[in-house]
Structure 1
Amino acid sequence: MLAVMQVGLSSPFFICGGVMLLFELLEPTLAGMGYELVEVEQPSPGKLLRVFVDKQDGGITLEDCVAISNHLAQLLVVENVAYSRLEVSSPGLDRPLKKKEDFLRYQGEMIRVRLRIPCDGQKNFVGKLHTMQNDILTLEIDGELRQIQLSNVDRARLVPKFG
């Protein structure tokens, strides 16, 4: 699902603050609406702004994206955030796992992990997320358990289920 809105604004907010400040602005707003902010992307300051959202019960609908887009458009004007187009979307079937809570929520699911520093000469792993305790992921890969420090995870995503 995707909602797109175009606006002509310019401001030093985003240029000075970066994606993290924008994430911190949007996260409590979306939580108050009953949604989870998964990711924010703005490849070029003042240009396209992508916001990926999720919700636990039933996922995101087009109506959710429209409601969020309308709400955020007003918030971004009030906060004087520079962007030319706003896209609000679900994170997709290959949802990124970013926070500890994500790893806890998706225990038992197949995930794809890319490491910052290779482990046994390998940076990419696909396996079943067995547990996440004390900042250590335990993946079941080909029947064997492998532990990975959460701090060494560069990217992690769910492996989509089809059928």
Structure 2
Amino acid sequence: MMNDEQKTDKKQRLIRKGKKVQEPVNTQLVVNIFEGFTKDERDLTQAHMGAEYFRVMAWIKEEDEQETIGVRSFRGFHQFNERLVFPLDCSSYKYIYIELIKVHSRRDPATSKGTVVMGRAKIRLPPWTSRGKFTSKFNLVGLNSDRCVEIKGYLNLSMQLHRYLER
């Protein structure tokens, strides 16, 4: 004798017979960070004190924050060439948040770990139904010495939604 759950399951299978059954699909946001540039107005007023290293911090949900390795900067230009992958469990996420951080900064000894946020970006995610790769240059904003928001640099990156079946 079948219980009510088994009857419902059998009905669903009969209704779908002959049609392709949708299997659960997992979605990831794949972010490729290529290069970036930042300007630092403090560089003009202070002596150069050795190599500077930068890293990119990115997150969709704060608990899923990821970062690139630190790269050495050459006159404000940064070559990352790294991939970050973020699992997406629903389509309600709209933005990815990015910060470009200067690490081990000798010019900012008052910071607790020598890290300084050089610029930030809030970037809209690709449409949930998209299949293609989006590549663009995204501006990074920060505060200048007058405490006004200005463009501090940019990051070149691409984003793509990757869908796959879990087996």
Normalised TM-score (structure 1):
0.25
More strand by share: 2
| Greater C-alpha Rg | 2
Normalised TM-score (structure 2):
0.25
